[in-house]
Structure 1
């Protein structure tokens, strides 16, 4: 008999969108949905550009005409933030001339105390303000990523009994919640609790583009820009900048923060070309976590004990190997369990999909 599962983040009282069969989480793309919640972004170091931080009112009159975004040169394309440098601002008004006389450090302090919508609108007023604002917008985007990193994760089955949950995982208040009598008509397991009370998270990519441009539009600022500038700001800065936060030119690892173990991306990827930063085609970090955090009463013979996952209720993140090495210098050594996990996953996938799964049409369909 098939069993439904919820993938839940206990500390946030959230669950991954929908319900899943175990096979979907272990073998299909659904398991990859767990990557972005766990991946810790890297905020790029952005320069302020070439605009003078101490521009005077007389200087501003020379650049007060609204212009379109120029086409980037070949050298511009080499910079991940080149599009940002090419955005021309709105005409400068007298009300902001005083701000442009401030140093970037003081502007940073001002922007830090503003809502991100206010940062965006103010940044549209001049090139120099935009150079400062974009740092804060990028930081806001990064703060909305990796929201399950360091959070207790468990994949719970619907056949659990009321007091069947991973040992030493729940807090006293969470255990008390099972005994408050509110689930008498629906059951009182960890699965039932998540099903009834946990928030379902369906999207992990922050929709900053619409949020910020809608706010600017309500103030009449957004539509003062030419359409080409609007498009570049939206596409190059807001909608498509997650790739900057998860660079593909660095090796990434899955860390179990509870046991201080880690898994390297190149050890579990079927082929090197399947690796795209923290995201790995077909078999990746998401499938590894899902296979090791399951907790269910159903002991199917083909599951080989997976229903009592050795990592159930543990805390994880996905980060770069450089960060791991930096952390190792500050605390006890981390244990590399990549080979152990790879061997376990190969056995599991061979049993579930057949001995030729690695070169099958199924792999090509799931890329």
Structure 2
């Protein structure tokens, strides 16, 4: 049947989900890891006013009727008369986006305060999707619990992720990690999901109709720019791979090896973080790719300007990595 693999973020306890046999996706998997390993050079989201528009006095919002969810207050102006600092503190303690959205759209004063708290939460959510600096491993489902890579997991993590090898006991592969989608962070989708979660259908649609004219157009893309050329850094081993070396490899072999232009830094990471007790990878490559020398290490991708200030404690392994990735591609596509 073959061995199945998936990429796991150990620190965030997340995965992109099962990807199937390694040979079926390793050669097209550059878009899995690269986007989330880039070190942000600035804010991940557009500025607050471009996402949550300031309310214009006198502007009328077309919306459906708000259903009454609580008895009318005898003193309805109490909350908005509180000092702004107090209202900000109240907003910061509201659980989930839904409650904060309900409060924020209730009046102009609370919208002006609440939209900034909404922005802060969404910025944290966008940053939380990044894996730069986290421990990453591509684990095979034949990995035995007594065969984990050394010096990667704490004793507490080993106890959580694994048990005695038994047909009914969990392994690192079967552990119920949270599934993270691979798409760019979408502000609008995050808002609508926050509304749906924990709110009744009528309340959700009423608030959504108010929000539409208050949401800007720049909500579907983050500001994470991929440096070109970049440098892949193994923060655990203080090793790095220059993307310029990869460009040289592609230029040298583009006429003799099909699909070599598909190689990205993400493919190099994946080829070195696979770990299993069984060598089944559904590939022609005969190296020990299933015992990845980088399995469980921490990585990021930075701009090549970093090389101008790198200290002597770092090792350039670009040549080694190019020989290895070329051999992997050669085994599948060489002629």
Which TM-score applies when normalising by structure 1? 0.61
CA contact 2:79–2:87 (8 Å) conserved in 1: no
1:224 aligned to which of 206, 210, 213: 210
Q: Which residue of 2 aligns with 1:4?
A: 4
1:354 and 1:202, CA in 2 relative to 1: closer, same or farther beyond 3 A?
Answer: same
CA contact 2:162–2:172 (8 Å) conserved in 1: no
1:223 and 1:174, CA in 2 relative to 1: closer, same or farther beyond 3 A?
Answer: closer
- Quote how far apart the aligned CAs of 1:349 are: 0.8
- Quote how far apart the aligned CAs of 1:314 are: 1.4
- Quote how far apart the aligned CAs of 1:325 are: 6.8
1:45 and 1:202, CA in 2 relative to 1: closer, same or farther beyond 3 A?
Answer: closer
Gaps of at least 5 residues in structure 1 are 51-59, 69-92, 272-280, 356-367
Q: Which residue of 2 aligns with 1:35?
A: 34
CA contact 1:153–1:314 (8 Å) conserved in 2: yes
CA contact 2:39–2:132 (8 Å) conserved in 1: yes
- Rounded to whole Å, the distance in 2 between the matches of 1:40 and 1:262 is 15
Give yes or no for the alignment of 1:66 onto 2:46: no
CA contact 2:231–2:302 (8 Å) conserved in 1: yes
1:256 aligned to which of 234, 245, 264: 234
1:167 aligned to which of 139, 150, 155: 150
- Quote how far apart the aligned CAs of 1:136 are: 1.4
2:127 aligned to which of 137, 143, 146: 143
Give yes or no for the alignment of 1:310 onto 2:293: yes
Q: In proportion to residue count, which structure has more helix?
A: 1
- Quote how far apart the aligned CAs of 1:224 are: 3.1
Give deviations 1:306-336, integer Å, cap 9, x for gaps: 22211122122344556x579x68x875434
Q: Which residue of 2 aligns with 1:26?
A: 26
- Rounded to whole Å, the distance in 2 between the matches of 1:22 and 1:8 is 14
- Quote how far apart the aligned CAs of 1:265 are: 4.2
SS in 1 for 2:218: helix
- Quote how far apart the aligned CAs of 1:64 are: 2.3
- Rounded to whole Å, the distance in 1 between the matches of 2:272 and 2:193 is 37
Q: Following superposition of structure 1 onto structure 2, how do residues 279-298 of structure 1 map, counting pairs within 5 Å? A: 282-296=262-276, 297-298=278-279
CA contact 1:116–1:137 (8 Å) conserved in 2: no
Give yes or no for the alignment of 1:354 onto 2:331: no
Q: Which residue of 2 aligns with 1:345?
A: 325
- Rounded to whole Å, the distance in 1 between the matches of 2:31 and 2:332 is 18
- More moved, 41-50 vs 259-268: 41-50
- Rounded to whole Å, the distance in 1 between the matches of 2:229 and 2:101 is 33
- Quote how far apart the aligned CAs of 1:258 are: 0.6
- Rounded to whole Å, the distance in 1 between the matches of 2:118 and 2:9 is 31
Give deviations 1:196-228, integer Å, cap 9, x for gaps: 323251524554132245479727433235x5x
**Which one has more relative contact order, counting CA pairs under 8 Å at least 6 apart?**
2
Give yes or no for the alignment of 1:198 onto 2:176: yes
- Rounded to whole Å, the distance in 2 between the matches of 1:98 and 1:251 is 54
Which TM-score applies when normalising by structure 2? 0.65
- Rounded to whole Å, the distance in 1 between the matches of 2:20 and 2:210 is 47
CA contact 1:26–1:291 (8 Å) conserved in 2: yes
Gaps of at least 5 residues in structure 2 are 63-75, 252-260
Q: How many residues align?
A: 291
Q: CA RMSD in A?
A: 4.4
- Rounded to whole Å, the distance in 1 between the matches of 2:161 and 2:79 is 57
